[in-house]
Amino acid sequence: MRTGRLFVVAGPSGAGKGTLIAELLKRYPKSRLSVSATTRKPRPGEKDGVHYFFLDKGEFRRRAEAGEFLEWAEVHGNLYGTPRRQVEEWMDRGYDVILEIDVQGAGQVRERMPEAVTVFVQPPSLEVLEERLRRRGTENEEQMRERLRNADRESLEKDKFHYVVVNDELHRAVSELCAIYEKESRRLDG
Ligand code: ADP
Ligand code: 5GP
């Protein structure tokens, strides 16, 4: 019996998904963040098994073919996927599981687990997005350009989500995401 609820949080790179989710996780002990697998190289300070499971392409493909991912996609030239087992175990134990994934992955989850609650995090504008990505400083110029190009395309998908949270003022956006979480995690149906 699956008693926890699944939340998908998607949106362009730099929109603030990680920042908003970190605030949510601090507030709700019943929430857990799924750790994804990726073929991207670790950034300084990123730890295997904590931020991501870092895999080479061969191992990633093997796991994808074995059906070990709930969803997976190529994003900005790297492969990313959600390990299925951890998500299912946590939901069975009553935890609400948060997936921080891209819009393609969100589409796959929507098909496979239609009861999942989906939230799109939108930056206030492309200019602000660029400024935040620049300030974060985790990508080089070319990688940043690619993320900005993809942001436009990803934003076209936002109408497919249950909720859109505009991440303008951080406190306000955190309150909005928490209100969605509280409402949806208490729902008894679906
Ligand atoms: P994502 O996980 O969507 O890629 P991050 O959470 O890493 O985005 O946020 C991108 C950058 O913007 C980070 O440096 C973060 O500190 C900053 N940031 C996030 N939300 C806000 C906000 N509301 N106002 C200003 N800066 C923000
Ligand atoms: P980053 O390289 O900045 O950590 O992540 C880049 C993009 O990959 C983000 O949009 C992030 O949401 C997405 N991503 C991270 N993990 C997953 C995953 O497991 N599946 C999918 N589909 N996308 C993911």
Q: Of how many residues is the chain composed?
A: 190
From atom 24 of ligand 1, which residue's Cα is the shortest distance away? Answer: 170
Q: Determine the distance separating the centroid of ligand 2 and the alpha carbon of 102, expressed in angstroms.
A: 5
Pairwise pLDDT comparison (114 vs 1), residue with the higher score: 114
Q: For residue 82, give the ligand 2 atom closest to its CA.
A: 19
Place of tokens 């390990």: 83
pLDDT, tens digit (0-9, with 9 covering 90-100), for 52-72: 999 999 999 999 999 999 999
Say if ligand 2 is within 6 A of residue 139 CB. no
Q: Which long-range contacts (CB under 8 A, 24 or more apart) does 57-64 make?
A: 63/37
pLDDT, tens digit (0-9, with 9 covering 90-100), for 32-54: 999 999 999 999 999 999 999 99
The pTM of this model reads: 0.96
Question: What are the residue ranges spanned by the domains of the chain?
Answer: 6-189
Residue 59, CA atoms < 13 Å, CB-side half-sphere: 9
Q: According to DSSP H, which parts of 46-125 are helical?
A: 57-65, 84-92, 103-112
Nearest ligand to the CA of 170 is 1
In terms of CATH architecture, what is 6-189?
Answer: 3-Layer(aba) Sandwich (3.40)
Pairing of strands 6-10, 163-166: unpaired
Q: For residue 173, give the ligand 1 atom closest to its CA.
A: 23
